[in-house]
Amino acid sequence: MSGFINRAFDFKGRCAVITGGGAGIGLACATLLAECGARVVLLDRDPAVEGVAASLGSEHLGVVADLRQLDQIQRAIDSVATRFGRIDFLINSAGVVFLDKALDVTEDAWDTTLDINLKASFFVAQACARHMIDQGKGRIVNLASQAAVVGLDQHVAYCASKAAVVGMTRVLAMEWAPHGITVNAISPTIVETALGRKAWAGERGELAKKQIPVGRFAQPEEVAALALYLLSDAAQMVTGENVVIDGGYSIQ
């Protein structure tokens, strides 16, 4: 393997913050980064996140935080910076979805979706970026969705939140590039996490797969591999992008 590749994918000693890291895509990202030598900090509202982080190794950390509370975000990120001395990477993976026809969406469902998918992603990024700016370098990856680029039935709040994540990503990339920070988004199709398999089981899932040219859903590890590239030094010239990983769904 070339020296460039070895250097570009050297994550040893670097610190990665991952929201929603206790399960699903966030956990897949954390596992891959830990395998590559990074120290990972998992932010999740589920207290089980502490045990999940410990299962990755003693050098990793699980932090219980409600990402709807800005004071908890700030305390969590500042504590990470104090403990590890730096924050190199952020993956905003925490998210929720409530399915309903647009005429039936409640205010609570709308506010919860936007608060977690968009507002929390921004304020976690803002808190991390303050430390990254002091370092002169950082990488941020926001999990968006194919729902950011196509309309999906019963997904109005989710589509709105993920489209906004892409717009936010572009502005942050533009403003923070002079400080050595790249900001990108990833937009997956349906991903076969534990929740994804349950939600899309049976005939409903088989019908959905038929709408995807490659004929299947994505695996969490595939999304994690893309995130790893965007965090690596091989992607230093990639910023402000929304990288779609949907098996061709949105090209039709």
120 contact partners, CB below 8 Å, separation of at least 6: 19, 67, 68, 73, 92, 94
Q: Is 229 a catalytic residue?
A: no
Which of 158, 176, 217, 249 is labelled catalytic? 158
CA distances, 148 to each of 42, 86, 167, 218, 245 (Å):
25, 31, 10, 17, 12
Longest alpha-carbon distance in the chain: 56
Tell the residue number behind the tokens 């908890």, with chain if given.
Answer: 72
Per-residue exposure over 45-73, b if at least 16 CB sit within 10 Å of its own CB, e if not: beeebbebbeebeeebbbbbbebeeeebb
* Residue numbers annotated as active site: 158
